[in-house]
Structure 1
Amino acid sequence: MKLEVLAQAPASSKADLLRFAPRGSRPVADVKPAEFDGLASTSLLHREGARRVLYVGIGASASVTPDLLRRAAGSGAKSLLKIGAEEILVDATGHEAHVGPIVEGIFLAAYKFEAFKAPAARRKTILKSLRVVVAPAHLAAAKKEAEASRHIAEATNIVREIGNLPGNEITPIVLADIAKELARTHHLKYTVWDEKRLEKEGFGGILAVGKGSANPPRLISLEYEGGARKDAPVVIVGKAITFDSGGISIKPSDRMDEMKFDKMGGCAVLGILRAVADLKLPINVVGLITSAENMPGSRAYRPGDIVTTYSGQTIEVLNTDAEGRIVLADALAYAVAKHKPRLLFDLATLTGACVVALGGSRAGLFTSDPALRQALWERSEAAGDPVWPLPMGDEYADQIKSDVALVKNTGGREGGASTAASFLQHWAGETPWVHLDIAGPAWITKELPYLEKGATGFGVRLLVDFLRKKK
């Protein structure tokens, strides 16, 4: 899609015009307030000469936020696409501080997963051009922010496309191939561990979870070097279970099809590394994707097994469906030992307990660093990837103590998201560390203003925004 930021609208253009209308405004004189008055999430389509103009309500001017404009722009774009728009012109004057979210909303709204649809059922038109008009004094800054947001949104959409692919299309080996191609196009260092190398180097957690599947596991590393060689990297670990049946502790059949989305933490890592490379951030970033398929095969790991991880620490398996923390343990331990990161993240669709606690819109945020907690919490709302802090502590660590190993892989129903985070902390150690449980917002089952059903790409925008602004 072509993107331009302009100081004035073109004299003549075929583009449909998108304008934001605050509460109480009357953009069209002959339209009564009862019909349209700028209430958030409402819209008015009007013809002005030969041009279609869509006014999208944004509510009270004092309540306008970056995410509100992202949603307004996205819903406006979706409405225009439904009536055949191929070019959109956005009047962003007065909203120059939020040009980035406006661009993001439209790019995200333009994505549709149609890989397996019959040609006749696919969207008839695609968005070819987006122009954004701002006041001349803001042109340079708006251009820079729009271009950055374009890269972030495109990376998010790629994550959504990979995430939406089913388990028969995406296996750990295929995911490794996708990472390899990303490394080639974006000049990243790529390393992959196959099952033989994983066994040789002692990655017992990943191997245990992947044993039951005909599709062998992989550990994937992508390294971006934007900083000095001596600078310690930020390491981002992602869980990518390409399909999670639950293993021997098999899941109920209801909604098991959604377990193709258990790879979304690892997919987010791909998007983050792509965006970081496109933006040429002056830092070093390492992405580690720990990928397996959790199946109840004849070689599958069992409840009662004791697994020895990369660090030598042991796990008593009580439930094979609590597999994400087991594969993450290996990757976190490797990250600490190999890269000695200045900051360590992990993203994982880890617990249903987090969804019960927070619902489907927010990720659980776990860290023992108050400054990190506050910074991520504050930025998450503007980034459109909202999080909410949840506790860790001795009471949760006590729930996962094992009589026969260091820890057991489940601590029962009470505080399940917090016991899972406390489990991971054993492998993060003293490294500054953030765990994001994205089980709720990683995919959606009903459309949002700028997102269709399916994978959301959650985490890409939040962490890229954080890395862009981290000193």
Structure 2
Amino acid sequence: KKILKLIDSKEVTGKYKEFTILHTDEVKAERILIMGMGKRKDFNLERLRSVMAISARNVRRINLSEMTIAEGFNDLGINYQDSASAIIEGIVLGLYRFKKHVSDHKDDSKAIKKLTIAVQNEEVRAEIEKGTYQGFTLSNSTNFVRDMVNEPANFMTPSIFADYAKKIAEDNGLEITVFGKEEIVEIGMHALLAVNAGSKEPPRFVLIEYKGGGENGKTLGLVGKGVTFDSGGLSLKPSDAMLGMHTDMAGGAAVLGAMQCIAKQKLPINVVAAIPLTENLVDSTSYKVGDVIGSLEGKTIEVLNTDAEGRLILADALTYIRRHKKLDYLVDIATLTGAIIIALGHFCSGAMTNNQELFEVAREAGEKTGERIWQLPLFDEYKSQIRSSVADLENIGGRAAGSVTAAVFLKEFVGDVPG
């Protein structure tokens, strides 16, 4: 009755993200949290995640440890499994905090001890349970990645990252190989070694395999950039731009988190992940502007900017995984260049592809998960911007279309694999 009165008085409007806490003795619950979902036509899974995150934070704020959700989103065209997953994702992701290095911080990321999803029909229980497991798997893997990315660089060196990967592989039955510097030299990953030359921390190259699709199943290759700190090298970043460069390994962390999530859900696919790991620092041994370096592919590269290092280490990783594994698809994930932020801002990721069908699959998945991606071109004409007069390629293509020319550079190392 109180809720109806609040609606009639327009104290509760249903506006998106509006919240009202109601104290009542009409039901057993101590408090009722009314969350605005916005207009029916605008409702989707991402809005559900956002509303659940706000709800969970408010429950934590008032020191309650139990939360019950009245599930009715099937009426809005969303199936029970997807809505249950989105509810869990919103709550778990919404409660995340990184306070590991704050000595007097009390961990309240799991402040809600009991969560109940109430449904009217017992027949949908199996769907709800499947969705909650999916939601916990996705959100816990995401928070694992967040923890890695948020770690300061002295707590996330290439060798420490590799140890994280070993633990994930051990816990989830994944095959893993970690190559040290001597093995990387023997393999011939010259571009990775060039970037690493200015660091006392030796490089690592991590290869992880999940075999859920059988011998005849298709195989997806994932490659993630793992620069655990990027000073820019001799093309030194300004001090304020250097802040946050411990996050330049986010692509590698995302790939590792994806492998964990894939294994926990026992997906019927084969996946191979490759993560090149190094710091990019300044030393008398650092690679220099104007240097011509080699690569595992055999192509020579003129270094015009030592701060365009991500594409160099990815080039070797892409070549290795393509040569040594039979791949049907190949995807790399990287904080590749600030030019993409200039182009698209902070509300979607940029994607470039040599296979439109693969992009459409990724785009549809992004719409469902709230990870929006926007396609940029890979026209052949852009290659003229990375031609060198003294080597096969330049590692930057000038200011024009910087995000595109970074991808054009990587395209030189993927061969004919759709990606």
What's the TM-score once normalised by structure 2's chain length?
0.94
Query: 1:255 offset after TM fit, Å?
Result: 3.7
In 2, are the aligned partners of 1:81 and 1:125 still within 8 Å (CA)? no
Cα distance 1:232–1:337, how it changes in 2: closer, same or farther (>3 A)? farther
Distance 2:361 2:269 in 1: 18
- Are 1:347 and 2:323 matched, yes or no? no
Find the counterpart in structure 2 of residue 56 from structure 1.
Answer: 35
Q: Which has the higher contact order (CA 8 A, sep 6+)?
A: 1
Q: Give a deviation string over 1:401-443, Cα, whole Å, max 9, x none.
A: 111212100001110000000100000111001xxxxxxxxxx
In 1, are the aligned partners of 2:255 and 2:273 still within 8 Å (CA)? yes
Q: 2:181 aligns with which of 187, 195, 201?
A: 195
Query: 1:149 offset after TM fit, Å?
Result: 1.6
Query: 1:28 offset after TM fit, Å?
Result: 4.3
Structure 2 residue matching 1:131: 3-state secondary structure: strand
Cα distance 1:323–1:231, how it changes in 2: closer, same or farther (>3 A)? same
Distance 1:72 1:256 in 2: 34
Q: Give a deviation string over 1:72-99, Cα, whole Å, max 9, x none.
A: 1111111111111222211112343522
Find the counterpart in structure 1 of residue 268 from structure 2.
Answer: 282
One-letter amino acid of the counterpart of residue 113, structure 1? F
Query: 1:119 offset after TM fit, Å?
Result: 2.0
Counting only pairs closer than 5 Å after superposition, residues 371-410 of structure 1 correspond to structure 2 as 371-410=357-396
Q: 2:23 aligns with which of 32, 47, 56?
A: 47
Cα distance 1:135–1:426, how it changes in 2: closer, same or farther (>3 A)? farther
344-353 or 393-402, which deviates more: 393-402
Counting only pairs closer than 5 Å after superposition, residues 248-327 of structure 1 correspond to structure 2 as 248-327=234-313
Find the counterpart in structure 2 of residue 10 from structure 1.
Answer: none
Distance 2:282 2:253 in 1: 24
Q: How large is the RMSD of aligned CA atoms in angstroms?
A: 1.7
Structure 1 residue matching 2:271: 3-state secondary structure: strand
Find the counterpart in structure 2 of residue 11 from structure 1.
Answer: none
Find the counterpart in structure 2 of residue 424 from structure 1.
Answer: 410
Distance 2:264 2:369 in 1: 18
Cα distance 1:143–1:205, how it changes in 2: closer, same or farther (>3 A)? same
366-375 or 383-392, which deviates more: 366-375
Find the counterpart in structure 1 of residue 103 from structure 2.
Answer: 118
Distance 1:258 1:29 in 2: 49
In 1, are the aligned partners of 2:96 and 2:109 still within 8 Å (CA)? no
Query: 1:352 offset after TM fit, Å?
Result: 0.8
One-letter amino acid of the counterpart of residue 287, structure 2? Y
Q: 2:60 aligns with which of 81, 84, 107?
A: 81
Q: 1:68 aligns with which of 22, 42, 47?
A: 47
One-letter amino acid of the counterpart of residue 105, structure 1? G
Structure 2 residue matching 1:254: 3-state secondary structure: helix
Q: 2:89 aligns with which of 93, 104, 120?
A: 104
- Are 1:208 and 2:194 matched, yes or no? yes
Find the counterpart in structure 1 of residue 5 from structure 2.
Answer: 29
Cα distance 1:125–1:367, how it changes in 2: closer, same or farther (>3 A)? closer
In 2, are the aligned partners of 1:244 and 1:260 still within 8 Å (CA)? yes
In 2, are the aligned partners of 1:248 and 1:296 still within 8 Å (CA)? yes
Distance 2:379 2:239 in 1: 34
In 2, are the aligned partners of 1:86 and 1:125 still within 8 Å (CA)? no
320-329 or 102-111, which deviates more: 102-111
Find the counterpart in structure 2 of residue 148 from structure 1.
Answer: 134
Q: 1:163 aligns with which of 142, 149, 161?
A: 149
Q: Give a deviation string over 1:347-406, Cα, whole Å, max 9, x none.
A: 000111100111012110111212122222222122011111111112211111111212
- Are 1:135 and 2:114 matched, yes or no? no
Structure 2 residue runs of 5 or longer lacking an equivalent are 75-79
- Are 1:242 and 2:233 matched, yes or no? no
In 2, are the aligned partners of 1:329 and 1:427 still within 8 Å (CA)? yes
Cα distance 1:45–1:325, how it changes in 2: closer, same or farther (>3 A)? same
One-letter amino acid of the counterpart of residue 129, structure 1? K
Cα distance 1:120–1:287, how it changes in 2: closer, same or farther (>3 A)? closer
Structure with the higher fraction of residues in helix conformation: 2
Query: 1:31 offset after TM fit, Å?
Result: 5.7
Cα distance 1:124–1:391, how it changes in 2: closer, same or farther (>3 A)? closer
Q: Give a deviation string over 1:269-313, Cα, whole Å, max 9, x none.
A: 111000000000111111111111000112111111112111111
Distance 2:310 2:11 in 1: 50
Aligned length: 409
Distance 2:110 2:199 in 1: 41
Cα distance 1:378–1:200, how it changes in 2: closer, same or farther (>3 A)? same
Q: Percent identity?
A: 37
Distance 1:102 1:124 in 2: 16
One-letter amino acid of the counterpart of residue 394, structure 1? D
Structure 2 residue matching 1:130: 3-state secondary structure: strand
229-238 or 192-201, which deviates more: 229-238
Distance 1:32 1:300 in 2: 69
In 2, are the aligned partners of 1:400 and 1:410 still within 8 Å (CA)? yes
What's the TM-score once normalised by structure 1's chain length?
0.84
In 2, are the aligned partners of 1:194 and 1:219 still within 8 Å (CA)? yes
Query: 1:123 offset after TM fit, Å?
Result: 4.1
Distance 2:37 2:95 in 1: 20
423-432 or 134-143, which deviates more: 134-143
Distance 1:346 1:39 in 2: 39
Distance 2:13 2:217 in 1: 53
Structure 2 residue matching 1:428: 3-state secondary structure: coil
- Are 1:182 and 2:168 matched, yes or no? yes
Structure 1 residue matching 2:365: 3-state secondary structure: helix
